[in-house]
Structure 1
Amino acid sequence: MRKFSRFLAAFFGVLLMLYTVVGQLLALTPVPWMSWILAAGFFQTVFIAIDTLRDTLGIYNLVIALIALALIFRTVRPRRWRPEGLSRRRTIVAGLAGFGAVASVITMIVVSVGVASAGAGFAFFTPPTPGGDLGRGPDQRVVTGTVGATTLHADLYRPDGAGPHPVVVFVHGGAFVAGAPGPNPYNRFLADHGYAVLDVEFRLASATVHNWDTQVGDVGCALTWLTRNAQPNGFDTSRVVMFGESSGGNLAINAAYMSVTKSLTPTCGTAAEIPKVVAVVGGYPAVDLTQAYADSAIGKTVGMQFVGGSPEDFPERYRYVDAANHITAQSPPTLIVQGGADHLVLAKSVKRFAGKLSAAGVPNRYVELPALGHGIGDTSSPGTAGAKTMRDAIVKWLDRYVPRTS
């Protein structure tokens, strides 16, 4: 029985140690150093999964590291507390466990400094608890339009009061092939801060359906619904904000910029019904699919499914979906929050996009959070460092460009 308990302690100790060490190395190692690994789809997928778990757990990674250290030292139990009292194998394992604990502290310090630099305050002990309350669900499920045989829906979150209220149109992520409207750390939060929120649905791409030219039009469909339903719902369509994350960030930014240049063709309603978009928010947005195709295995898969092939095969399609090609001096003020250790949407491309906004004279703010990966930990928890930063940045940005009182 004693041997079995020691075996279990060793097994779980090594497992937790490996997660800790790999997770902290992914957070602290510059992403460009790993470009050759990102070309392998399996490893990129594993990296993103570990990033997501690590960023969601936050301070609890240190707890896991300490548990791993305790389990391993329970197994090692050296006769003498000297290096020669341990075998080389056990010394290495114990050393890695110690490294994981130290690296966890370093990562939390780096993240906390990044959050503080972004103006969101102290964030070392985040999240307070794993997971967290996303708030009450939507107040109403609405039909925004019908496209062919497909009925498009959206979740509506209402603020208190009669309005008229500014409106945030949220576009979910999912690599253009997955995802749906649903609770997140921002919808109810923004409604509680005086903004109506419309979390929209669009038709997804697949291995056989390459809707690179109509997904943004489906978002445009939801925009026309706002105009047609403004009065009974208390919407102020002169104060509309686009907000999207990951692939949804691409669609939100493109819809906003194209609405200004009158090049957005909605798949329902009419172009004349598209309201004025006065601000944009992108969370780790996939703004450069051409570069993403070259950067990683998943980038290639996204290009094949959403666009239908490579940039060499379809240059005109990539010109259409790459957000920088829709920048004009009239583009709405744009806030971008990006993880510095993102192994899917690489920070270098997003930062380059922000530079193009500045060159065009578009008011913008680019916030890069070091040691956080794709999703910055906000995919399911409102209490993480990334969600805390995004919430703070959004409220400040909207207060500046989309005041809650008309």
Structure 2
Amino acid sequence: MTPFLRALLPAALLSASLAAAAPMKLADYLALSGPAPTAKLAYGSAPSQYAELFRPAGAGPFPVVVLVHGGCWTIKFGGIGQMRNLAGALAAQGIAVWNVEYRRVDEDGGGYPGTYQDMHAALDLLERSATANQLDLSRIVAVGHSAGGQLVQWIAGRAKIPASSPLHRAHPLPVREIVSLGGLADLRNERALIQSSCGRDTADLAGLPGPARPNVFADTNAAELVPNGSHTVLITGELDTVSPPRAARDYAARARAAGDTADVIVLPGASHYDEVAASSPSFKLVLPAIRKALGMPH
């Protein structure tokens, strides 16, 4: 166990987190639900271009979690609805949640560059909505699951995207704290894993090379947008076969070698789905990591 994890958890909480529980299956994940959001705000005209705001009770300003669902970049495996389970639990902690929907590769306009442009637009809308909703954008962490882990890790490096790219933004909202839950973030080095876990080819996620864009990873691959001053916590289930602990450790090593900071937490006895369920024993490890990233007592 890493010193980072020991610092997050007192002994009693750590003992509770190790309690035996059956790992969640895909059907358990698809059955997840949570409270209705405070508001639903569109950032574009397509059906999937919106975010849900979960605003805690009381007066702000509130720290903010940008929450990005997974699902192998496809509409087949659920998404924003399942993440309401985690969003509701975080809102109960006094944390505002910006739960992002986006166009996936099997939707019109999804894939490259549309999915990434949706992330830009969702964060732009968050920035415009912050004052009215008492959101403290100086305390912000992006939390993504699986394919959403790839997207939040990409968010951290947006300022390094080349000016020649359609994904370049001159002054993106900085998000330096990242929590990736079973993320599939390294498009270049994990191509085989992404193919075997999700049936996705690089072209689905990064586009095709051409004379104006010979390197399709220069603006899409989080591992090539480091160093960017971020701190990434990669959390993955011990029994996760979609994004196994080995993938988290390999990404963390690349981030550290580039000059950023990264920590790995392996959830005992957990699958790819326990990572996002507030009802799972794994939440006792996930929640302190999020609170720590926000500068809250943990």
In the superposition, the TM-score normalised over structure 2's length comes to 0.77
3-state SS, counterpart of residue 57 of structure 2 = coil
Matches of 2:197 and 2:95, distance apart in 1: 34
Q: 1:327 aligns with which of 226, 233, 242?
A: 226
Q: 1:386 aligns with which of 264, 269, 282?
A: 282
Alignment correspondent of 2:19: 124
Q: 1:224 aligns with which of 100, 124, 127?
A: 124
**Quick check: 2:72–2:198 contact (8 Å CA) kept in 1?**
no
Matches of 2:267 and 2:79, distance apart in 1: 26
Amino acid at match of 2:147: S
Q: Displacement, 1:239?
A: 2.6
**Quick check: 1:170–1:200 contact (8 Å CA) kept in 2?**
yes
Alignment correspondent of 1:345: 243
Q: Displacement, 1:303?
A: 1.4
Aligned-pair identity (%): 27
Show structure 2 runs of 5+ residues with no match: none
Amino acid at match of 1:346: P
3-state SS, counterpart of residue 383 of structure 1 = coil
Equivalence map 1:369-380=2 (5 Å): 369-375=267-273, 377-379=274-276
Equivalence map 1:137-156=2 (5 Å): 137-146=36-45, 152-156=49-53
Change (3 A) 1:359 1:126: same
Q: 2:62 aligns with which of 165, 171, 176?
A: 165
CA deviations over 1:131-159 (Å, ceiling 9, x no partner) = 7996532111111233xx55611111001
Change (3 A) 1:309 1:334: closer
Matches of 2:82 and 2:198, distance apart in 1: 29
Equivalence map 1:64-79=2 (5 Å): none
Matches of 1:347 and 1:310, distance apart in 2: 29
Matches of 2:114 and 2:86, distance apart in 1: 26
Alignment correspondent of 1:112: none
Matches of 2:266 and 2:248, distance apart in 1: 10
Matched, 1:367 2:262: no
Alignment correspondent of 2:160: 261
Matches of 1:198 and 1:321, distance apart in 2: 22
Q: Displacement, 1:253?
A: 1.0
Matched, 1:200 2:104: no
Matched, 1:290 2:188: yes
**Quick check: 1:145–1:225 contact (8 Å CA) kept in 2?**
no
**Quick check: 2:112–2:207 contact (8 Å CA) kept in 1?**
no
Amino acid at match of 1:391: L
Matches of 1:345 and 1:164, distance apart in 2: 35
Matches of 2:162 and 2:86, distance apart in 1: 29
Q: 1:187 aligns with which of 80, 87, 94?
A: 87
Q: Displacement, 1:170?
A: 0.6
Matched, 1:274 2:172: yes
Q: Quick check: which one's helix share is greater?
A: 1
3-state SS, counterpart of residue 161 of structure 1 = coil
Equivalence map 1:40-51=2 (5 Å): none
**Quick check: 2:42–2:49 contact (8 Å CA) kept in 1?**
yes
Kindly report the root-mean-square deviation, in angstroms, between the aligned alpha carbons of the 2 structures. 3.5
Show structure 1 runs of 5+ residues with no match: 1-114
3-state SS, counterpart of residue 316 of structure 1 = coil
Change (3 A) 1:308 1:189: closer
Task: Count residues in correspondence.
Answer: 275
Q: Displacement, 1:320?
A: 3.6
Equivalence map 1:282-321=2 (5 Å): 282-295=180-193, 297-299=195-197, 301-303=199-201, 306-307=204-205, 316-321=215-220
In the superposition, the TM-score normalised over structure 1's length comes to 0.58
